[in-house]
Amino acid sequence: MTRDDEPAIEVEVLEIDGAAPPPPRDADGNPDMLYQDDDDAEARRTWAGWQNWPGQVRTLHPLWWPLLVVGGGFVLALFLTLGLCLGVLFVAYRIVRGLLRALFG
């Protein structure tokens, strides 16, 4: 058999170098139409066309909110702790300066 007479071999690519391939597209190039019967179709439609949203408000995925709340709480506690330490140092400086002025005046 020559190369022209050989039948075509179709395969499904599961992953390339540890990464999944991009989702297949229908004949028009729209990835959304392939997922109509899928349970996660709404999630895929929501995030598949994010580049087509110029000028619209983009919302953060709900799974990021706990991380932001915990991280924000940590940063707030850090700033409050540093502010309290600086406040204590300032008060101590004022007391020592007042005592030195009273003694050596």
Domain ranges in the chain?
Answer: 7-48, 63-105
> What is the chain's pLDDT, residue by residue, as a tens digit (105 residues)?
556 777 778 777 666 777 776 666 665 655 555 445 555 555 555 555 666 666 555 667 788 889 989 999 999 999 999 999 999 999 999 999 999 999 997
Distance CA 72, CA 80 (A): 12
Distance CA 21, CA 97 (A): 69
Distance CA 68, CA 76 (A): 12
Here the tokens at position 33 are 């139409």
If we measure between CA atoms, which residue out of 48, 46, 47 comes closest to residue 30? 48
Distance of CA 67 to the CA centre of its chain: 10
Distance CA 1, CA 7 (A): 10
In contact, 42 and 51? CB cutoff 8 Å: no
